[in-house]
Amino acid sequence: MGAVGAIFQKELRVEFRNKQTIVTYLLLAFLILTSFRFAFSSFDKTPTAIAAPVLWIPIFFAGMFSMTPIYKREVDESTKEGLLLAPIPHSAVYVGKLLASLLVVFGLELFTLMLFFVFFPFDLPDMAALMTVLVLGTLGFVALGSIISAISSQLSQAGVMLMVLTIPVLLFTVVLSAVSATSEIFGGAGLADVGNEVRFLAVFALVFIATGYLLMDFILEA
């Protein structure tokens, strides 16, 4: 746990001192949500069908922005070899970085959620169900993104590669399930009504967390 904790703490320090990702994301989330607010200003109530994508778009951007640099930074600063030489399992690097990314994305998600409810006056949905879908969707999304970020970190166009490789997988898995479950929840459904989507998101997250954990040796040493 010592190495994981050290990497987790280091990642957060670097992230918050750099500020670039977080500030860019906060401005982007604000811009996206205000744009949609203006677009739907003629509606008395935001239609539930578009509410879910409006909420998830900034969240997916948050993930993309925060994941691109987590391994790329080690390559750019030439610190990757320092990590590989340390007497720690490479899986500790993966877990530490994954946890730090999750915390950052969850924090940005919370900001987005609050902004969303300020801009779009909804009757509050089943918050337990909504939070479950958000947490599981984010877990899967960040776990997959983290693996692809590590793979693409050696490439000069790492950010572009991350999007190109991640989006097709996400689109038909996490995006589809998370957006459809969120849409149902905004329409009045509870946790039991979105059981299939929740189970799928949980399995997806588990599969990619385990994959990253098992493959990190090969990915980092490549």
CB closer to another protein out of 10 and 37: 10
Q: Which residues have C-beta within 8 Å of that of residue 66, sequence separation ≥ 6?
A: 15, 21, 25, 101, 104, 105, 108
Among 27, 31, 84, 171, binds another protein (CB under 8 A): 84
Question: What sign for the dihedral angle of Cα 38, 41, 47, 48?
Answer: positive
Dig out the tokens for 98 from the structure. 């994954």
User: In angstroms, rounded to a whole number, what is the distance separating the alpha carbons of residues 82 and 73?
Assistant: 13
Does position 211 interact with another protein (CB under 8 A)? The reply is no
The neighbour count for residue 54, using CB atoms within 10 Å, is 21
Tell me if 86 contacts another protein by CB under 8 A.
Answer: yes
Per CB under 8 A, 192 contacts another protein: no
Q: Give SS3 for 206.
A: helix
| Nearest distance from C-beta of residue 67 to another protein, angstroms | 18
| CA 60 to chain centroid | 6
81 in contact with another protein (CB under 8 A): yes
Please report, in angstroms and rounded to a whole number, the separation of the first and last CA atoms in the chain.
25
Rounded to whole angstroms, the Cα distance separating 190 from 178 reads: 14
Per CB under 8 A, which region of 22-30, 53-61, 82-90, 157-165 contacts another protein?
Answer: 82-90
As a whole number of angstroms, the distance between CA 43 and CA 40 comes to 6
Show the site string, 27-66: x = touches another protein by CB under 8 A, - = not.
----------------------------------------
**Closer CB to another protein, residue 39 or residue 76?**
76
| Interacting residue with another protein among 32, 75, 89, 131 (CB under 8 A) | 89
Verify binding: residue 99, another protein, rule CB under 8 A.
no
Q: Any contact of residue 1 with another protein (CB under 8 A)?
A: no
Taking CB under 8 A as the binding criterion, the range among 80-88, 140-148, 149-157, 186-194 that sits at the site for another protein is: 80-88
Which amino acid belongs to residue 39? Answer: A
The verdict on 121 binding another protein (CB under 8 A) reads no
Tell me how far, at minimum, the Cβ of 68 lies from another protein, in Å: 16
Is residue 85 a contact point for another protein (CB under 8 A)? Answer: yes
C-alpha dist (Å) from residue 199 to 93, 190, 191, 210: 28, 14, 11, 16
Q: Which residues bind another protein (CB under 8 A)?
A: 2-3, 5-6, 9-10, 13-14, 17-18, 77-79, 81-90, 217
